[in-house]
Amino acid sequence: MIRRISKRSMAALALLLFLFLAIAGCTGNCSRQERERDFVIDLPEDSPEDLSKVRQVFYSLPSPVETAIILKTSGAVFDEDLLNPVENVSRYLTNRSMALNLGIYTTNLSYASLFDQAQICIDYMDAAKRLADNLGILDAVDRFTLERLEENISNREVVIDIVSETFMNSSSFLQESNREPVAAMLLAGGWLEGLYLALNLIDEDELEHHSMVNIIIDKKLSLEIVMLLLKQNSQNEDVAELMGEMGRIEDLYRKIEIERSPIEVDRSGEDGVTILRSSSSARIERDVFRDLKSTVNEIRNSIVS
């Protein structure tokens, strides 16, 4: 009897193992084609025949890495006092505060990495790991990532690559585990921090000529995408509340008019780079800048405190 049950169990286990291997496919040393074959999924038999009308829509916000690159190339300087102190990490206990502050810390981390702030990078990666762990994001930052960061801390390219991977791991994990509202708040937190940094790195007296003013004006374009992304997830109470706060920023941005000429495509750029030629004009009045800065600071400080 014992032997018969054992045989059945073995058969069952073998069947499970076979199914698992069939599903999991190759995970180790596979050729490129074998690896790509894994990503082809058999259609269920009841698939609709006419699929031409099926369309998925994505909204992409500037990531923390892109935000930091744009800040740096626009002449920003590094100011540690603007960062959300890592000591605050233990205060964040709700999904909302953890997601928003993970976005904020990742933007701080990207900003620090572009200015070669080694110790700050390590501290902020550690804070990001704690929040990702508490949000249940598996392996966003594992031990190997932290070791790789410490070993390459003076290599900016590798550090930025690690930050980029960490952000991708967090947002993709949340999206793939059907936690889109949390992913949306993570992205919105990063976006808000980018605006907060830009607003606080400019002196009001420099509004007429500082190159970073354009970053603040151009945020109007990505704010539309922030609102669309939040709207997509507004059935979630936390997201709905955040939408209300972002709406205050949107109201102020309505006072900034941007005029643009149509885009002309110029394919004569060096190294095959196409240049999209167009001009734009926009202006931000002092009182609008002041209101925007105080509103953003108030919202951001309520999130980090």
Partner 1 sequence: MKRLPVFLFLAAALFTLLPDQAAAQCKGFARRICKLDLENYIHDGNYHAAILTEGEEAELYKTFYAGQDYRIAVCGSELMADIEFRVMDIQRNVLYDNSEHDYISTWDFRLESSQQLMIWVRVPSPDQGYEPESGCVAILFGLSGR
**Using CB under 8 A, which residues numbered 29 to 48 contact partner 1?**
32-33, 35-43, 47
Nearest distance from C-beta of residue 177 to partner 1, angstroms = 7
278: contact with partner 1 by CB under 8 A = yes
Site string (69-88) toward partner 1, x via CB under 8 A: xx--x---------------
Closest approach, Cβ 252 to partner 1, in A, equals: 18
Q: Does 260 bind partner 1 (CB under 8 A)?
A: yes
Residue 28 in the binding site for partner 1 (CB under 8 A)? no
Q: Is 22 in the site for partner 1 (CB under 8 A)?
A: no
Between CA 2 and CA 56 the distance in angstroms is: 54
The residue from 1, 2, 23, 93 that contacts partner 1 (CB under 8 A) is 23
Is the CB of residue 40 less than 8 Å from the CB of residue 86? no
Query: Among 65-73, 87-95, 202-210, 240-248, which window interacts with partner 1 (CB under 8 A)?
Result: 65-73
CA separation for the pair 107, 70 (Å, rounded): 12
Min CB(108)–partner 1 separation in Å = 14
Q: Is 271 in the site for partner 1 (CB under 8 A)?
A: yes
Closest by CA to 219, choosing from 304, 152, 282, 144, is 282
Letter string b/e over residues 247-260, b meaning 16 or more CB atoms within 10 A of that residue's CB: eebeebbeebeeee
Task: Name 286's Cβ contacts closer than 8 Å, sequence gap at least 6.
Answer: 204, 207
Which of 8, 91, 255, 290 binds partner 1 (CB under 8 A)? It is 8
Min dist CB 249 to partner 1, Å, is 15
- The three-point CA angle 140-60-35 to 5° equals 55
| Alpha carbons 171 and 200: distance in angstroms, whole number | 27
Supply the minimum distance, in Å, between the C-beta of residue 269 and partner 1.
7
Smallest separation (angstroms) from partner 1 to the CB of 85: 23
Q: Which is nearer to partner 1, 127 or 183 (CB)?
A: 183
Among 138, 148, 80, 129, which residue's Cα sits nearest to residue 108? 80
Residues numbered 113-142 forming contacts with partner 1, rule: CB under 8 A: none
- Please write down the HEC assignment for all residues of 112-160: HHHCCCHHHHHHHHHHHHHHHHHCCCCCCCCHHHHHHHHHCCCCHHHHH
Contact 251, 115 (CB under 8 A): no
The torsion angles phi and psi of 7, rounded to 5 degrees, stand at: -65, -45
User: Could you tell me how far CA 221 lies from the centroid of its own chain?
Assistant: 17
Count interface residues toward partner 1 (CB under 8 A).
78
Instruction: Write the interaction track for partner 1 spanning residues 154-173; mark x where CB under 8 A is met and - where it is not.
Output: ---x--xx-xxxxxx--xx-
187-226: contacts with partner 1 (CB under 8 A): 214-215, 218, 221-222, 224-225
Considering only residues 220 through 239, tell me which ones interact with partner 1, judged by CB under 8 A.
Answer: 221-222, 224-225, 228
Beta carbons of 153 and 118 less than 8 angstroms apart: yes
Q: How far is the CB of 56 from partner 1 (least distance, A)?
A: 4
Minimal distance, residue 302 CB to partner 1, in Å: 26
Q: Does 99 bind partner 1 (CB under 8 A)?
A: no
What 3-state DSSP class applies to 205? helix
Q: 48 or 93, CB closer to partner 1?
A: 48
